[in-house]
């Protein structure tokens, strides 16, 4: 028997049971559409987080912790063969800082891939507006430098807020949710209170909305000199330096390179946010595994149809065997039935999945402050490889599901069937 003969037999078997065949094909199609949609939504969620992280955080951060200890010059050269060392045995509440940060900046500046450099000082404070109190995290920056580091400029709700912050020494730029908590508007005067109870009056020059609820609810920007004064730091001392680079894919490599050059602990954006990235990747994988069980159910439907066809075609199989048709040909006929069901199902399910992705991508809703990210839509990342993977997986499940019934069809002896001992 030729391949076309096998295909003709398989098609006749399926055509005789139109309703069952249609429902089975529909099951494979639904599984395909659901899996394509799930992959697109899972990838889109992860991509949304990654894009937001790249937007609202420096690509590379130079911290104040040293990986190469500084050694005072006066510990060497006093006596030959001896080296003195000092062990730190007194703890203070002073911050770990980068002293003489201009030297670190001059070391990093020649690196061609580095686009922007912005030193900063962080401070935990209490913000007060009349009878409203809320803790906040103030970041002292040079406004003109910080604007390009973490996408701050494009996240401003008042376009000229950074310029206004630059010429307002006691200005403050509030996160949108923080401003709402304090009921603070433009040019309002609020009070910042440090851990020692010292109060610093500041003028609200604008607001920003990054899309990360935790950032918009807790963070604010002030001028670097004001933050240094609140933390009792000298004018050439900061707690960190943020960098923006031209190629985000080189962040890990450049972070390691800068760490060797400066001696300070340096982290890329992906390393600093490893927990968040791992969480979304695991969440997407778990969702994908759960949805893939829809294909398993569709495979059981294929197996059920094949088993029914085998039981109904026992006598036909016996006649074919008695006429000299080999077992392999019988097996191929029933496996082709599974292939036909799987192929039709996934080829119908793929465009349906694309249609569902388009509909979901077009839905808009009110942003919520309950989650990690505030967004008015679900980001859908639909790619051709997802369709190819689902099509291949769907066909494979259908063919594998038909193996059992196909082998059962060849297990009957023609003599037993013709005598009425089977079926």
Q: Which two tokens stand for residue 244?
A: 């923006």
Residues 358, 251 within the same domain: no
In this prediction, residue 205 carries a pLDDT of 95
**Residue 84 forms part of a structural domain:** no
**Residue 137 forms part of a structural domain:** yes
Residues 265, 345 within the same domain: no
**Residue 89 forms part of a structural domain:** no
Domain that includes residue 236, residue range: 58-70+95-269
In this prediction, residue 125 carries a pLDDT of 93
417 close to 317: Cβ distance less than 8 angstroms = yes
207 close to 174: Cβ distance less than 8 angstroms = yes
Distance of alpha carbon 251 from the chain centroid: 17
As a whole number, the mean pLDDT across the chain is 82
**Has residue 366 got a pLDDT over 70?**
no
In this prediction, residue 313 carries a pLDDT of 67
Residues 260, 146 within the same domain: yes
**Residue 214 forms part of a structural domain:** yes
Average pLDDT score over residue span 385-399: 85
Q: How far apart are CA 298 and CA 354, in angstroms?
A: 20
Residues 47-103: pLDDT tens digits? 777 777 777 788 899 998 888 766 555 555 555 666 555 555 555 556 788 988 999
**Angle formed at CA 49 by CA 260 and CA 349, multiple of 5 degrees:** 130
**Residue 80 forms part of a structural domain:** no
56 close to 155: Cβ distance less than 8 angstroms = yes
Q: Which of 269, 289, 318 delimits the end of a domain?
A: 269
**Residue 79 forms part of a structural domain:** no
Q: Report the domain count for the chain.
A: 2
Count Cβ atoms within 10 A of the Cβ of residue 343 and give its class: 0-12 exposed, 13-18 middle, 19 or more buried: middle
Residues 109, 255 within the same domain: yes
Strand ranges inside 176-285, DSSP E? 189-193, 199-208, 219-223, 237-238, 240-245, 264-268
Residues 302, 355 within the same domain: yes
Identify the residue with better confidence: 370 or 412: 412
**Has residue 362 got a pLDDT over 90?**
no
Distance of alpha carbon 122 from the chain centroid: 27
Residues 103, 31 within the same domain: no
pLDDT band at 286 (very low <50, low <70, confident <90, very high): confident
In this prediction, residue 419 carries a pLDDT of 61
- Among 16-20, 115-119, 202-206, the least confident range: 16-20
Q: Which of 247, 269, 291 delimits the end of a domain?
A: 269
Cβ contacts of 250 within 8 Å, gap of 6 or more: 113
Residues 260, 325 within the same domain: no
In this prediction, residue 90 carries a pLDDT of 54
For 98, other C-beta atoms within 10 Å of its C-beta total 24
Inter-CA distances, 271 with 25, 178, 274, 277, 318, Å: 45, 27, 5, 9, 66
**Has residue 327 got a pLDDT over 90?**
no
Residues 284, 389 within the same domain: yes
Residues 259, 403 within the same domain: no
In this prediction, residue 276 carries a pLDDT of 73
**Residue 78 forms part of a structural domain:** no
In this prediction, residue 78 carries a pLDDT of 52
Residues 212, 326 within the same domain: no
Average pLDDT score over residue span 400-419: 71
Identify the residue with better confidence: 88 or 239: 239
Identify the residue with better confidence: 413 or 274: 274
Q: Which of 243, 269, 295 delimits the end of a domain?
A: 269
Residues 230, 283 within the same domain: no
Give 362's DSSP letter.
Answer: T
- Among 250-264, 273-287, 351-365, 389-403, the least confident range: 273-287
**Residue 48 forms part of a structural domain:** yes
The candidate with the shortest Cα–Cα distance to 123, out of 194, 186, 70, 60, is 194
Residues 237, 382 within the same domain: no
């Amino acid at each position: 028997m030729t391949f076309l003969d096998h295909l003709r037999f398989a098609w006749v078997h399926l055509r005789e049971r139109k309703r069952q065949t249609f429902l089975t094909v529909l099951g494979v199609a639904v599984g395909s559409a659901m899996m394509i949609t799930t992959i697109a939504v899972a990838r889109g969620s992860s991509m949304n987080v990654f894009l937001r992280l790249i937007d609202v955080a420096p690509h590379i951060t130079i911290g104040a912790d040293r990986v190469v200890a500084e050694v005072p010059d006066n510990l060497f050269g006093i006596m030959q063969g001896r080296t003195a060392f000092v062990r730190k045995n007194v703890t203070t509440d002073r911050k770990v800082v980068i002293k003489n940060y201009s030297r670190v900046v001059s070391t990093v500046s020649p690196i061609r891939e580095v686009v922007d450099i912005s030193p900063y000082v962080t401070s935990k404070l209490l913000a007060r507006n009349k009878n409203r109190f809320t803790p906040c995290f103030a970041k002292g920056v040079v406004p003109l430098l910080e604007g390009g580091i973490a996408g701050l400029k494009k996240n401003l709700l008042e376009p000229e807020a950074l310029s206004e912050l630059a010429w307002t020494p006691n200005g403050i730029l509030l996160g949108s949710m923080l401003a709402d908590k304090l009921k603070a508007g433009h040019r309002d005067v609020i009070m910042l209170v440090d851990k020692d109870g010292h109060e610093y009056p500041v003028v609200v020059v604008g607001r920003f909305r990054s899309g990360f609820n935790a950032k918009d609810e807790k963070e604010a920007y002030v001028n670097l000199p004001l933050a240094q004064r609140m933390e009792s730091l000298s004018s050439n001392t900061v707690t960190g330096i943020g960098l923006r680079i031209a190629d985000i894919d080189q962040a890990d490599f450049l972070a390691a390179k800068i760490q060797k050059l400066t001696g300070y602990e340096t982290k890329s954006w992906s390393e600093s946010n490893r927990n968040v990235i791992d969480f979304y990747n695991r969440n997407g994988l778990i969702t994908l595994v759960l949805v893939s069980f829809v294909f398993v159910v569709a495979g059981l439907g294929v197996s059920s149809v094949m088993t029914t066809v085998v039981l109904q075609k026992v006598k036909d199989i016996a006649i074919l065997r008695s006429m000299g048709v080999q077992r392999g040909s019988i097996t191929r006929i029933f496996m082709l039935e599974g292939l036909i069901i799987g192929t039709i199902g996934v080829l119908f399910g793929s465009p349906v999945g694309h249609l569902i992705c388009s509909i979901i991508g077009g839905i808009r809703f009110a942003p919520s402050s309950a989650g990690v990210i505030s967004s008015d839509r679900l980001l859908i990342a639909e790619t051709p490889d997802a369709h190819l993977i689902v099509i291949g997986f769907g066909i494979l499940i259908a063919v594998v599901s038909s193996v059992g019934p196909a082998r059962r069809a060849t297990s009957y002896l023609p003599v037993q069937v013709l005598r009425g001992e089977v079926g």
